[in-house]
Homo-oligomer: A and B are copies of this chain.
Amino acid sequence: MVKDMTLKDAALIVQKFGGTSLADATRIKAVAGHIARTKRRGYQIVVVVSAMGATTNDLLRLAVDVSSFQPARELDMLLSAGERISMALLCMALADLNIPAVSFTGSQAGILTDNIHTKAKVLEVKTQRISQALVEDKVPVVAGFQGVSEEKEITTLGRGGSDTTAVALAAALGAEVCEIYTDVPGVFSADPAIVPQARKLGRISYEEMMEISVSGGKVLALRSVEFARNHGIILHVRSSFTWETGTWIVQEDSSMEQAVVSAITSDDSEAKLTIREVPDRPGVAALLFRSLADKAVNVDMIVQNISKAGTTDISFTLPKDDLPAAMEAVNGLKSQLEVCEVIADTSLAKVSVVGAGMKTHTGVSAKMFETLANNNINIEMISTSPIRISALVKEEMLEQAVRLLHSAFELERQE
């Protein structure tokens, strides 16, 4: 499987290093050593860095200390200092190994974004300076997570932003592969902290990775995987501590032997909100979810059931952090919706089964529900996609559910 992934001679590789990979001087020197080795093997390399381990949290703590609120523009200015520090230090460490390197801010690297501070979108990548550095046989080291708007304002790309920078650069430069270095060896069949027998996946499709990301996998943010899929960029998630081969994320093709189920994921960050006895008439759901969207509440699963004649119960899940905004939205609609009762439940968690082969195999959901039922784990809500089934269970049953499903689908045995 790994053999398929052998790179062309002199291929261009984008290597992205996260905060834990650059946590201190020792880690930065280790990363420089790896870049030097890769370069000596004949590859062209463009490096993308996050801020050093604790930097972002330290800066945010200072921001809270000086002010009760943080204007988004200034928050971006503040946080963008983090990558400057790590990229300059990495260039120095490379210089120490006789590898000429040159750092570029998001702006210098030509990462042009819209003007939405703290969650800007990449509009265009102007690669002239990076290409010039490559021509001069230098390693460009680019600040991840940050860009510049048309109004010359510093922006940041939000959660997973450095991965997005790496993928966008890989696309713009026509890289062979985008390597995402992190503190784990790859994407696993389940969280090894919960399932010690969990297996590192050798290769999965973009779609599977996206489903893993939305259902609780923390290795890659959905957005960067989506970007990679849309631009056909092969991702390789791997460890900057062991340097072993990690997980390849590629276009699904007919020659791929598809596992029916690839991974069991878990997510305890969501809450469930139930609105009881809403009038059962057209437009009610539209009104509710428009109002939630206006408050930027990120709704995940939605279930609607008739409860008693003429009324319906609507339940949905959302990030626990969004609960205050959601309650505000719902309370604002109370008279319009003639609602008597709103119930928030924060004691639930989501377990999901993900696998590209599900599309052509039946019986996965039956097996999932049976496994949970046989172990007296009650399912509160269900949602599905073509390659994922998610079930909401009591939070205290979550780890047991993950272990039972991992074993039921024999994920420890596959290769």
Contacts and interface: CB of A to CB of B under 8 A. Distances in A.
A105 to B, nearest CB: 8
B85 A81 contact: yes
A338 interface: no
Most buried by B among A32, A66, A70, A103: A66
B95 A74 contact: yes
Interface residues of A, number: 40
Most buried by B among A78, A90, A129: A78
Contacts of A82: 81
Interface in A84-107: 84-85, 87-93, 95-96, 102-103, 105
Contacts of A32: 66
Interface string A57-74: 001001101111111011
B103 A91 contact: no
B88 A78 contact: yes
A108 interface: yes
A53 to B, nearest CB: 12
Given A29-B66, A66-B29, A89-B66, A74 B96 contact: no
A67 B92 contact: yes
Contacts of A92: 63, 66-67, 69-71, 74-75, 78
Contacts of A103: 73-74, 77
A152 interface: yes
A194 interface: no
Given A25-B65, A25-B66, A65-B25, A95 B80 contact: no
A66 B28 contact: yes
B95 A71 contact: yes
30 contacts: A25-B62, A28-B66, A62-B89, A63-B89, A66-B90, A66-B92, A66-B93, A66-B96, A68-B96, A69-B95, A73-B102, A73-B103, A74-B89, A74-B91, A74-B92, A74-B103, A75-B88, A77-B84, A77-B88, A77-B105, A78-B84, A78-B85, A78-B88, A80-B84, A81-B82, A81-B84, A81-B85, A81-B88, A84-B84, A108-B152
